[in-house]
């Protein structure tokens, strides 16, 4: 039996999908999983800030279309890319245990070699691109 797993072509999406497939293989060692990687609208838009487009399914729509057309059997999304309300007929089948959420720390050159505990009390921090845009416009 073959299960086709839809995912985006991005490196992060592939890593997430590989994790999902490994967990599925542990549960179903007799099943073969085929990864079907595809580009989404969000992957193709390189000249416009995604926040200005307003579309909520930039990274999910093509994958959902493939699922509806029976081109894949399941898809792997990053939860941050999903809308608050899923399209009719779709459901979240599983959520894996969250990995370490700490991505990166970027310090001003004047703080080179310092750790977070040694930064000034009111040091600026941000957790997303939108937050950075808000702060630095």
Catalytic (active site) residue 81: yes
Q: What is the CA radius of gyration of the chain?
A: 19
Q: How far apart are the C-alpha atoms of 47 and 106, rounded to whole Å?
A: 25
Q: Which residues on neighbouring strands pair with residue 6, listed in sequence order?
A: 36, 75
Active-site choice (18, 43, 73, 81):
81
Cβ distance 83 to 56 under 8 Å? yes
Residue 23 CB partners (closer than 8 Å, separation 6+): 96
Catalytic positions are 81
């Amino acid at each position: 039996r073959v299960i086709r797993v839809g995912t985006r072509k991005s490196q992060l999406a592939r890593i997430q999908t590989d994790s999902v497939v490994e967990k599925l293989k542990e549960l179903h060692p007799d099943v073969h999983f085929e990864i079907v990687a595809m580009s989404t609208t969000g992957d193709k838009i390189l000249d416009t800030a995604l926040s200005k487009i307003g579309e909520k399914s930039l990274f999910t729509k093509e994958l959902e279309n493939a699922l509806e057309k029976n081109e894949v059997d399941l898809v792997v999304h990053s939860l941050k890319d999903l809308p608050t309300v899923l399209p009719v007929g779709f459901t979240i089948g599983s959520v894996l245990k969250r990995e370490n959420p700490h991505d990166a720390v970027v310090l001003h050159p004047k703080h080179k070699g310092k750790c977070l505990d040694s930064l000034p009390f009111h040091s600026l921090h941000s957790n997303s691109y939108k937050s950075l845009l808000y702060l630095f416009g």
